Structure 1
Amino acid sequence: MEARLFSIMAFPVLMIAFHPATLSAQDKASEPFTTGADFCSSYIWRGSQLGTGPHIQPSIVYNKSSFTCGAWGSFDFRGYQETDLYLSFSLPSGFSAGITDYYLPGLRYFDYSKGSGSHAFELNFGFSADKLNFSANYILNEAGGVGSSGNDLYFEAGYSFERFSIFAGAGNGWHTYDPETGSSNFNLCNTGIEVSGMIRVTESFEIPVRGQLILNPDKERLFLVISFTL
């Protein structure tokens, strides 16, 4: 019931926040709304590949003071679809907390059952200090349609250097699930290095570009991904 309530409430919040009439009332100098899209060679989420081939990943974000809410999606050219809603709050001393609703549009939106549910609700906690960041995540519910087991955990730590950053993440549940054995033990599943830069298109226009080399020790998979943002 709590999962259904969050999802139903999220819609009016986002619709009001992103309605054009609301935009016109804002001072452009302090505009809290942003929208954009990432284009990536493949979609690797916490060490696992989702979908096939290149993805388009649009987003709409409302940010005001310490509050952020938004919608984010990922779509490939072979039918994979994902649309997520989220809320987050920035807390003192570098901490943050929020909740994410993971949804796959190919499934019935109001299906909250364990066997075929289309939503996985995740609590998100973070900490950032200078070059170090840490996140802890916990899935609240079992949803067979999206593959969450309930009580799924994922932790990740990252450190930024001058020209690159490194990260390592570990989890269980849908992060390490093996369909052949049925096991989903807690294990290291997402390690890698990330390099960011800019591609100059004109003298006044640059495109942010990011490259990642990702190793999943649990599934023994290595990925090389490049993405850019518009």
Structure 2
Amino acid sequence: MMKIKKLTTLLIGVIIITGPLFAQNEKGDISLGADLMSRYIWRGTQFSTGPVIQPGIEYSKGSFTIGAWGSYSFDGDNDGAEADIYISYSFADNLFIATLTDYFFPNDQIAANNSYFDFKKESTGHILEGSIAFNGTKGFPISIMAAMNFWGADQDANGDQQYSLYMELGHSFTYKVVNIDLFAGFTPIDTDEDKGESGFYGDTAGFVNLGFTASKEVAITEKFSLPISASVIANPMAENLFLVFGVSF
């Protein structure tokens, strides 16, 4: 456990220290932007009850990418608040992408969770996730992604790590000028409620994220277009249905 804490602290320190160096490297690419979303729905789970702004910045060079992403509600409280840092590496001509993500969820109800540099297992607001994604090919146009939480705030009532697992299948195509992204996400792990277990995505194995996103660019002027999107998201396990609209800048 101590090794994990030290590794996580070192990782964050490297990101903070090397950030200015990345900006000075002309061979790399820096991208930044923000999304305005009517509601924050992630993998079939609702994280905000109202509109949010989701800024992001990313540096990429070759196969490596490092970035930061956040979500904050317009009403100023912690409804949907999140601040993430991630590192990814693509290989086999971008056919596969491996990603390490540090999710941080501040929580006013648990004062310790508002401390970003708190890496104590019993009080941290961080969750570390490892994921691997297959982007599909022309002959097999189906994307496959698997992600597992392996440390942090994803614990059962006894304080044991739950290793919540999420898997998703996707397919993308274009209909006229509209891009369509289909997705089907599920968790394959059953939990034991008698032992106080409850996975991050649900209490039993099943589908938690079914739906599609339609996106297009709306021309504002001859030189400027505004990307917009609309999603229909169903969570069969939680018996929820969400409709989300977004604008990107």
Same fold by TM (over 0.5)? yes
CA distance in 1, matches of 2:3, 2:73: 31
Which of residues 194, 203, 221 is equivalent to 1:202?
A: 221
With over 3 angstroms needed to count, the CA separation of the structure-2 counterparts of 1:215 and 1:105, relative to structure 1, is same
With over 3 angstroms needed to count, the CA separation of the structure-2 counterparts of 1:84 and 1:6, relative to structure 1, is farther
Letter in 1 for 2:165: L
Q: 2:36 is matched with which residue?
A: 39
1:42 partner SS: coil
Deviations 1:47-87 (A, max 9, x none): 01102201100111110100011110000123122101111
**TM-score calculated relative to the size of structure 1:** 0.86
Q: 1:117 is matched with which residue?
A: 124
Q: 2:67 is matched with which residue?
A: 70
Are 1:224 and 2:246 matched, yes or no? no
Are 1:91 and 2:88 matched, yes or no? no
Letter in 2 for 1:153: L
Q: 1:126 is matched with which residue?
A: 133
Q: 1:181 is matched with which residue?
A: none
Paired residues of 2:142 and 2:170 also in contact (CA < 8 A): yes
- Of 215-224 and 161-170, the range deviating more from structure 2: 161-170
Are 1:48 and 2:45 matched, yes or no? yes
**TM-score calculated relative to the size of structure 2:** 0.80
Q: 1:167 is matched with which residue?
A: 183
Q: Per-residue deviation at 1:110?
A: 2.9
Q: Per-residue deviation at 1:144?
A: 5.9
Q: Per-residue deviation at 1:118?
A: 1.2
Q: Per-residue deviation at 1:133?
A: 1.0
Are 1:189 and 2:208 matched, yes or no? yes
Letter in 2 for 1:85: I
Letter in 1 for 2:173: F
CA distance in 1, matches of 2:126, 2:92: 30
Q: 1:180 is matched with which residue?
A: none
Q: How many residues align?
A: 218
Q: Per-residue deviation at 1:167?
A: 0.6
With over 3 angstroms needed to count, the CA separation of the structure-2 counterparts of 1:207 and 1:13, relative to structure 1, is farther
Paired residues of 1:149 and 1:174 also in contact (CA < 8 A): no
With over 3 angstroms needed to count, the CA separation of the structure-2 counterparts of 1:60 and 1:17, relative to structure 1, is farther
Are 1:102 and 2:103 matched, yes or no? yes
Letter in 1 for 2:98: A
CA distance in 2, matches of 1:16, 1:206: 35
Letter in 1 for 2:171: Y
Question: Any gaps of 5 or more consecutive residues in structure 1?
Answer: 177-183
More strand by share: 1
Equivalences for residues 3-18 of structure 1 within 5 A: 3-18=4-19
CA distance in 2, matches of 1:2, 1:127: 30
Percent sequence identity over aligned pairs:
35
